[in-house]
Structure 1
């Protein structure tokens, strides 16, 4: 059948009850929000479509308020949810915790590769990614609420191949794929040339088409056939059923601020990186600085959200940004990663790869250095970022990245909550500490397995805070450095639920970390 051009309201009417719907996007990028909004409006008026089985690869928080997967926060709309991340979906949290529907989570890279596996009718994805984390069926099997545990459904299995253990993630059929492009031509060929990211639009469309499902694509505009260069076509018309031109407020490159496109993010222009604001001199800067001491010239790196995003800005300040190759799990490499909810994009990217392609490289050990956050750390070196404080944020690409990296640094403040910690005359002054302990005897959720890391024996793991630095050894978490001005007993050990191993040559953190001037680093 030839491609049909319809509006988003009609697209929502085409989605039937009890179907499996795959939605593409990355936070607020490549997000078909017109279609998602009309699905919500139809459900509120008609209570249809209902009982959908929904899958999305990356977090679809949109603007962190009303967009993206937040549109689906209605009882009855979903009967099952499979995703990797929910960090900007506040409307969905209560329903998940109330067990309104079973919720399962997988590593982001596995879900991205799942689209290729479905498209090629493979039985599933076989990987060691997720071993000995909450995804492992010997722990939680990716189930993140009681409804999932009681459902009897398994989304991952433990298997053996050639005397090695692997996780097997079975495929499933897709009925609908909802994706986003920049431009469609009048025959239905799709280009993503103005998007900040190139995700798995092709793989998701091919998966739905090969399952006998339908493919809906929201775009910013339509041009005459022939106006899109063939090399710029990401999804050919043969895979597309419906094209929807989004309203200006519900489409575009992103949903941040005024929503105007940032030409640098898609490579249409270069910005002067030295004009970017330097990081303020505070404990977060100290943490980022300490992690850079583990970097080597030419390293291929990945940075997580939050404090770790400052590493790229700091490298730029120190004139070292060209000495390394940065990457983001969205597929963007090079440049300076954008901050906040713009995570996933970069200023002056060198390349914008497809998400499943970058995860192939990650999973094979391509990352030399990774810096990511940590909500909880325990005596075994396990790290939790996926479920804490009554929220299920999910792992996103954290599991793929941390398991594959040669050196991984977990960055964060030593305690959580409101604090007053100053840097005065090159020394740390803890006026008021955070009220919540982050170093737990056992983490609530295992997103990084210290045991699996030690078992591999090829990975270096560091846990870096403003007052103490730990590494992972056969003795578990081991303290190797302490900040000038911090007291070992009162500021460190008494603020932990366990006593870590302490290196016999316990050192003081580098003095340069605690002064405002540039460090003059060389990699």
Structure 2
């Protein structure tokens, strides 16, 4: 059987009511041609209809690499289950993604699971087990006593259950079949053996293929090129042809958003000791510099998406990696690269100059096993009970990504972000921080809109250490609440900190130290 075909031929047999899984990590590894072709077929023929889509991670950037936004169409999509959603505004159109519109307007059944659950759930489908069982997520939004991961009113079915085993609470994600799987790799031979030599991560590719085949489904792989059979070293072939049914060649995909190709993401290169990337002056840079003071050489440290991922770039700029200094640090993300420089923005997920790589499910084994001792994560809201929210706030529904698994299993938690948001502007003059324009939205709120992680409860129960770092103040999270430990030079405690919080700290250090003046210098 010749497995090589066009994208139209590859998706021609997808039927109404089926469940489609797709790999992709924002712009990385996204099989965009397959998703685009499925959408084209629906627009031209009104078929297939009422599909369920399973995205372990948000697929595409909803801009140049549209990914899941291709198939965010009423009628085509009935239900979506995803580890997170892209929520950015497209600068070319001024619009948010279509997926966000469908969720906000309650047009589809939308569920958002932690990425650790989406990755490990695939394993359970692959081995035809009843489902995925975990302690992680108790007390958060994924707990059925909260929302059960439901993001729209149409999402009435309970896809997550609460179970008690030997007196301990667990969350259970029942298995259900995947009929079609979309993958992306670099090379395939005519039999379908896949290698990923031009892809910096492999994410859930193997787990997805195994889950779809265990369900009796069809696996379709988008690749850059066809190579002769037996032409590659076996160690480079990560997915055997027995798991691949169809192959579609798309020779010129973007590596990721704004990156056509950059082999620095593939390893095998020595870090030159510096880089061109520099964070512009402002609140984010102050936060990153202060957070960098908490990062220790030799300690496995994981960075999340958002403000926290700026830290390595600032460390590089400030000389921490000069010479062979980078080798002293062990940086990773939830997507499996080890070593090198964690990137920020749309290039987050893969590292430049990495030394090792494992796939998505194995990375969450690493995380859940407590191997990431320090975690730097962003925050959107923090309430008086010590609950942190990054998954749903205002009109944004980005979901948690890997946040819950990372936060639950780290020993030291660093929550990073601006003190307020929505138009905040700051300036630094003579080592003093000045608020030019205050943000319109408070982040220290009486009650979070959604509990992504109950920090205070776990500080008390599991003895985690947690700190909140902003551009103007630093807090420690204790079981009883926040303790203000530092304030920026030039900031008024009463009017620019306490008056902008919906609740007071339980304690203020006396005397209250100033944040290091060097953080505010060029």
TM bucket (normalised to shorter chain) is over 0.9
**3-state SS of the aligned residue for 2:491?**
coil
Question: Residues 511 and 253 of structure 1: is their aligned pair in 2 closer, same or farther, counting only changes over 3 Å?
Answer: closer
**3-state SS of the aligned residue for 1:392?**
coil
Matched, 1:197 2:204: no
Counterpart position of 1:520: none
CA distance in 2 between partners of 1:77 and 1:458 (Å): 47
Counterpart position of 1:94: 101
CA distance in 1 between partners of 2:504 and 2:292 (Å): 27
Counterpart position of 2:267: 267
Q: 1:220 aligns with which of 224, 240, 243?
A: 224
CA distance in 2 between partners of 1:123 and 1:76 (Å): 30
Counterpart position of 2:360: 355
The Cα of 1:455 is off from its aligned counterpart by: 4.1
The Cα of 1:303 is off from its aligned counterpart by: 1.2
Counterpart position of 1:521: none
Moved more, 293-302 or 395-404: 293-302
CA distance in 2 between partners of 1:504 and 1:185 (Å): 64
In the TM superposition, 1:284-295 aligns within 5 A as: 284-295=284-295
In the TM superposition, 1:8-407 aligns within 5 A as: 8-62=7-61, 64=63, 67-88=66-87, 90-148=97-155, 151=156, 153-248=157-252, 251-254=253-256, 256-257=257-258, 259-267=259-267, 269-316=269-316, 317-320=318-321, 321-407=326-412
Question: Residues 407 and 366 of structure 1: is their aligned pair in 2 closer, same or farther, counting only changes over 3 Å?
Answer: same
Q: CA deviation digits over 1:453-486, x for unaligned, max 9?
A: 2343321111111111111112212222211221
Counterpart position of 1:428: 433
CA distance in 2 between partners of 1:442 and 1:515 (Å): 32
CA distance in 1 between partners of 2:106 and 2:278 (Å): 44
CA distance in 1 between partners of 2:511 and 2:106 (Å): 47
Q: Is the 8 A contact 2:16 2:48 kept in 1?
A: yes
The Cα of 1:10 is off from its aligned counterpart by: 0.9
Q: CA deviation digits over 1:92-116, x for unaligned, max 9?
A: 1111111111111111011011111
Q: Is the 8 A contact 1:132 1:452 kept in 2?
A: no
**3-state SS of the aligned residue for 1:508?**
coil
Counterpart position of 2:90: none
CA distance in 1 between partners of 2:417 and 2:145 (Å): 29
The Cα of 1:339 is off from its aligned counterpart by: 2.5
CA distance in 2 between partners of 1:405 and 1:63 (Å): 31
The Cα of 1:87 is off from its aligned counterpart by: 2.0
The Cα of 1:509 is off from its aligned counterpart by: 3.2
**3-state SS of the aligned residue for 1:430?**
strand
Q: CA deviation digits over 1:221-280, x for unaligned, max 9?
A: 0011011211111110111111111152xx3532x23x5211111225445241333433
CA distance in 1 between partners of 2:468 and 2:286 (Å): 13
**3-state SS of the aligned residue for 2:154?**
helix
CA distance in 2 between partners of 1:312 and 1:433 (Å): 27
In the TM superposition, 1:509-520 aligns within 5 A as: 509-516=514-521
The Cα of 1:90 is off from its aligned counterpart by: 1.1
**3-state SS of the aligned residue for 2:497?**
helix
The Cα of 1:315 is off from its aligned counterpart by: 2.2
CA distance in 2 between partners of 1:107 and 1:443 (Å): 18
CA distance in 2 between partners of 1:63 and 1:348 (Å): 27
CA distance in 1 between partners of 2:401 and 2:414 (Å): 17
CA distance in 1 between partners of 2:60 and 2:370 (Å): 29
The Cα of 1:189 is off from its aligned counterpart by: 0.6
Q: Is the 8 A contact 1:481 1:506 kept in 2?
A: no
Question: Residues 436 and 429 of structure 1: is their aligned pair in 2 closer, same or farther, counting only changes over 3 Å?
Answer: same
Unaligned runs of 5+ in 2: 88-95
In the TM superposition, 1:490-509 aligns within 5 A as: 490-505=495-510, 507-509=512-514
Q: Is the 8 A contact 2:472 2:491 kept in 1?
A: yes
Unaligned runs of 5+ in 1: 518-523
Q: Is the 8 A contact 2:203 2:335 kept in 1?
A: yes
Question: Residues 240 and 277 of structure 1: is their aligned pair in 2 closer, same or farther, counting only changes over 3 Å?
Answer: closer
CA distance in 2 between partners of 1:331 and 1:183 (Å): 20
The Cα of 1:3 is off from its aligned counterpart by: 5.3
Q: Is the 8 A contact 1:409 1:462 kept in 2?
A: yes
Q: Is the 8 A contact 1:325 1:333 kept in 2?
A: yes
**3-state SS of the aligned residue for 2:120?**
helix
Moved more, 188-197 or 298-307: 298-307
Moved more, 192-201 or 503-512: 503-512
CA RMSD for the aligned pairs?
Answer: 1.7
TM-score (norm 1): 0.94
Q: Is the 8 A contact 1:31 1:62 kept in 2?
A: no
Moved more, 368-377 or 260-269: 260-269
CA distance in 2 between partners of 1:117 and 1:6 (Å): 30
The Cα of 1:332 is off from its aligned counterpart by: 0.9
Question: Residues 324 and 18 of structure 1: is their aligned pair in 2 closer, same or farther, counting only changes over 3 Å?
Answer: same
The Cα of 1:297 is off from its aligned counterpart by: 2.6
The Cα of 1:391 is off from its aligned counterpart by: 2.0
Q: CA deviation digits over 1:314-350, x for unaligned, max 9?
A: 2223325332200011111110122221111111001
Question: Residues 247 and 47 of structure 1: is their aligned pair in 2 closer, same or farther, counting only changes over 3 Å?
Answer: farther
Question: Residues 48 and 314 of structure 1: is their aligned pair in 2 closer, same or farther, counting only changes over 3 Å?
Answer: same
Q: Is the 8 A contact 2:77 2:108 kept in 1?
A: yes
**3-state SS of the aligned residue for 1:224?**
coil
